[in-house]
Each structure stands twice: as C-alpha cells, then as structure tokens.
Homo-oligomer: A and B are copies of this chain.
C-alpha cells in the first residue's frame, strides 16, 4: 500500500543502511554521491513512508545463550477467521516466537522459536502452545545450525 517511488539513489541508501544502520549521514551521503542534507532528507522520507521500518541492533544468539532454533508447524482446526486471529494474537504475546507465517494449503502456521535449551522449549510447548484453543496438530523441527541469517532484503529488482 505505501506506493513509494524508489529511484537508484534511494536503493543505494537502503542497501547501505541495511548493512550498517548506524552509518553516519555524511558517510552515507558520500557513498551514494550526494551532499549530506539532501541525503538526510531522503532517509527521513523513507522512514516517514514506512519503507524503513526501524533500526535495530542484532545480537549474537550464542553469546546470550540462545542456541536453539525450533521451527513449529501448527495446524488449526478448520474453522473461521476468528480462530486465526486468536492464534495470531497469542503468537504475538511471546517473545520467543521471532517469526510467524501463515502458510498456503491448509490453515497452518510456521513459527520460528528461539530458546536457551530443550527443556525450555518443552515448557513453552506444553504450557503455552498446546493450550491455545483451536489447534489441531503441532510438529516441531529443530535446527542444528544457523547457516545464514540475513535481514537485508535484495533490492536489485527495484529500478527506475
């Protein structure tokens, strides 16, 4: 819905800020071939339009003892929309659920859950997930290794 005209310079700006969100505006301006002021104007416009949602620090999961990634396939009972909304609301409450997608096919969801260890996941599963009403089935898959985790969207298709 936010139809925002993105030209080549905006694309460069987004590429740079997706790599380093704290880059100084002066450096950013130099990198995209602008002087600081119009560069900052563009950044603000991108923020205001919602193209740039936020700036965040990315923390190393291993360094804070969160090595376990679990992917959870949740199938809901075939029912109407309020069930979906209720489930989604429940999912938003828990910070361990970093990602949640409504998938095609049946009414099912894919979650990525991050926890310090398996007992913690078990507790999350038994004491929270299974208690959400309307759930037909839950299947958990565990990741041995996070091979790649990138937040930078590929923008090479945005051309003006």
Contacts and interface: CB of A to CB of B under 8 A. Distances in A.
B151 A98 contact: yes
Contacts of A14: 57, 59, 64
A38 interface: no
A80 interface: no
**From DSSP, what is the main secondary structure of chain A's interface residues?**
mixed
Interface residues of A, number: 68
A126 interface: no
Given A110-B143, A151-B151, A152-B95, A56 B55 contact: yes
Nearest to A96: B154
Contacts of A101: 69, 71, 143-147
B147 A100 contact: yes
A75 interface: no
Interface in A28-84: 49-66, 69, 71
9 contacts: A4-B63, A17-B56, A59-B152, A66-B154, A92-B148, A97-B150, A98-B151, A98-B152, A101-B144
| List of 10 A-B pairs having minimum Cβ-Cβ separation, nearest first | A17-B57, A95-B154, A101-B143, A100-B148, A100-B147, A21-B55, A22-B55, A102-B145, A21-B57, A51-B63
